[in-house]
Amino acid sequence: MSEFGLWFFLCVTFPIVIWCAWSDLKNMTIPNKANIALFAVFVIFGAFFMPLPEFGIRILQAVGVLILFFILNSMGLIGGGDAKLFAAIAPFVAYRDVTIYLFLLSFLSIAAVVLHRVVDRTALKTTLFANWKSWSEKIKFPFGLPLAGSLSAYLLYSAMQ
């Protein structure tokens, strides 16, 4: 993908992934509209920034991720919104960069859990972020936060290469 395409996708997807993370933290759900919007950005603009064969492979990549994560969701291992968000993110990640993306996701997942637990023990929880469902969840974690951050971090990393 071209450098311009990476910067374009970073700018366009950033508000959408912020919406996903915010909604997941506040309501423990990721809106379907956000997932559809994210995937639509790739479908509408992706063909302009990469060769058509690569564009097609990335669409198939998204379908494969959706199927895999729906299976994981049916087994109770991941939330449905997280599965759909992961599938919507999948076409933005080049296959050759999957390990880089998974490293970023792993690092940001740990950072998100630590940050969430730290804020949970401060006054911010009761002032700025009162009544957020994610505070009362002790087993489930709003994985939309690290997923959102990982897409933005990956696009930024790729654009700066």
Could you state, in order of their start, the residue ranges of all structural domains in the chain? 3-159
Measured CA to CA, the distance from residue 147 to residue 136 in angstroms comes to: 21
The Cα-based distances of 144 to 2, 18, 22, 34 in angstroms read 27, 9, 8, 11
Residues 87, 67 contacting (CB under 8 angstroms): no
pLDDT digits (tens, 9 = 90+) for 54-78: 999 999 999 999 999 999 999 989 8
Note if the pTM is more than 0.75: yes
- Supply φ then ψ for residue 130, to 5 degrees: -65, 150
Summarize the confidence of residues 144-154 as an average pLDDT. 93
Higher pLDDT, 83 or 121: 83
pLDDT of residue 35: 94
pLDDT of residue 141: 81
Fill in the amino acid letter for 107: F
pLDDT of residue 8: 95
Residues 55, 92 contacting (CB under 8 angstroms): no
